[in-house]
Copies of this chain bind each other. A is one copy, B any other.
Amino acid sequence: MKVISYNHNGTHGVGVMVDDPSEPGGFVSLSKAAPDLPHDLRAILEIDPGLDRVRAAAEGKPADMVTSDVTFDPLIREPHAIWALALNYTLHIEETGLTTSREYPQIFLRMPISQVGHEEALWAPGLKIAEAYDYEGELAVIIGKPGRHIKRENAFDHVAGYSCYNEGSVREYQSQNRQFGLGKNFERSGSFGPWLVTPDEFGDPADHTLVTRLNGIERQRAKISGMLFDVQHLICYLSEGYTLQPGDVIVSGSPGALPLRPGEKPETPRGPVVVEGQLHMRAGDVCEVEIDGLGTLSNPVIEDPTPL
């Protein structure tokens, strides 16, 4: 099952995609199919962590809306927590030359205003603010059932589904001091979607491959099995400290960059960390994060329109 969060003429809703080749983009809107459910995916997960009521409500129903008539919201609009992973793929650790613990994951937080939905515009900071605005294609894990001190063998029971994430990062700010802080949290700098795919359909994340494309050209390609700390480990680790909440998001880290193609020039270094294959996102670009079995998260990039 694929679940979307959308905005239709200013009203937020949740829908279930219908797999019907004769009507691409068709979905069942839960506001009609299940009017008793909240109109927000996090609020649904709080009362229906396994999405059983959502599945039952949509089952067998024809599409009553199409995605071209709505805009995509970030899959969870306002999660209680958005955890993100630094340096969780070996190649990315090597290419940055940075040190990280091999024993404990390196974790920081993002806030809701820093993310947009599928096909919505990402904001590249004005060039007077920062120039090194970078994509990071990542797998996002969405928590359903709450839990504390979760054992590895039960970790997947707490997952409501998976999605794609572009963990867009402003490098100058990220490297201003020791904690990433604002550099990972610029307004509309990241994206989250297009939809949640349930675990019965997706299977083990480690069996999948992640690809990031900038303007159609592959810039990242990695097996998700290459994570230093896998999804189960991250769930267990976080649950040592708090009760994972429905709708919480774990953004599981960016793989390394592919080499530049012949004739391509690397970016001018703008900080202590230089990754040769990493290109910046600029106004006019389109960035895609694709994971097989999940689909493709695609976003155009515009310059942050806020007056300085």
Contacts and interface: CB of A to CB of B under 8 A. Distances in A.
Interface of A: 78, 80-81, 83, 86, 98-101, 103-114, 125, 129, 148-149, 170, 173, 176-183, 185-187, 237-238, 240-243, 245, 306-308
B104 A177 contact: yes
A240 B129 contact: yes
Most buried by B among A107, A108, A125, A148: A107
25 contacts: A80-B112, A80-B113, A81-B113, A81-B185, A101-B176, A101-B177, A103-B176, A105-B177, A106-B179, A107-B182, A108-B181, A109-B110, A109-B181, A109-B185, A113-B242, A114-B242, A148-B306, A149-B307, A149-B308, A173-B240, A182-B237, A182-B240, A185-B241, A185-B242, A186-B241
A170 B240 CA distance: 12
Contact of A100 (B83, B100, B177): B177
B106 A178 contact: yes
Contacts of A186: 241-242
Given A111-B80, A113-B80, A149-B307, A242 B187 contact: yes
A106 B308 CA distance: 23
A185 B248 CA distance: 14
A106 B103 CA distance: 25
Given A101-B177, A101-B178, A106-B177, 16 more contacts: A99-B178, A100-B177, A100-B178, A101-B176, A104-B176, A104-B177, A107-B179, A107-B182, A108-B109, A109-B111, A114-B242, A148-B306, A179-B179, A182-B240, A183-B241, A187-B241
Contact of A86 (B80, B110, B178): B178
Most buried by B among A86, A177, A237, A241: A241
A243 to B, nearest CB: 6
Contacts of A112: 80-81
A128 to B, nearest CB: 10
Contact of A241 (B170, B240, B241, B242): B170
Contact of A106 (B149, B181, B187): B181
B179 A180 contact: yes
